[in-house]
């Protein structure tokens, strides 16, 4: 019993993070609109452009999403292919 409690306690931070993350490729409209910075118009553009290969693909195909916006959305929990936005190689539009 103590071992199970210890495992749950150790996994709690990872579980909490997973619940806060929203996958751009599979999220519902309501999930996307629940994130700060994603209003109805941007959500509609995201839904219409899915699926995305990565953040660079999303930024290339969704107007209004550049590196600064991607960074904010990622900090709010948006993920593309399970990955947060990372500035640098592969994250900037080509």
Query: Is 7 part of a structural domain of the chain?
Result: no
State which residues of the chain have pLDDT below 50.
5-18, 89-94
Query: Is 41 part of a structural domain of the chain?
Result: yes
Query: Is 35 part of a structural domain of the chain?
Result: yes
Positive or negative: CA dihedral 73, 78, 81, 84: positive
The pair phi, psi for residue 50, each rounded to 5°, is: -60, 155
Query: Is 1 part of a structural domain of the chain?
Result: no
Q: What is the pLDDT of residues 50-75, one digit of tens each?
A: 999 999 999 999 999 999 999 999 99
Residue 87 pLDDT: 81
Query: Domain residues for 70?
Result: 21-94
Residue 69 pLDDT: 96
Mean pLDDT of the chain: 83
Write down the pTM of the prediction. Answer: 0.74
What's the structural domain count of the chain? Answer: 1
Query: Is 6 part of a structural domain of the chain?
Result: no
Query: Is 2 part of a structural domain of the chain?
Result: no
């Amino acid at each position: 019993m103590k071992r199970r409690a210890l495992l749950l306690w150790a996994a709690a931070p990872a579980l909490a993070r997973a619940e806060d993350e929203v996958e751009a490729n599979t999220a519902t409209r309501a999930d996307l609109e629940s994130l700060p910075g994603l209003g109805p118009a941007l959500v509609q553009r995201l839904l219409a452009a899915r699926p995305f290969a990565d953040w660079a693909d999303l930024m290339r195909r969704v107007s209004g999403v550049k590196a600064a916006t991607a960074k904010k959305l990622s900090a709010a929990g948006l993920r593309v292919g399970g990955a947060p936005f990372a500035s640098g190689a592969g994250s900037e539009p080509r």
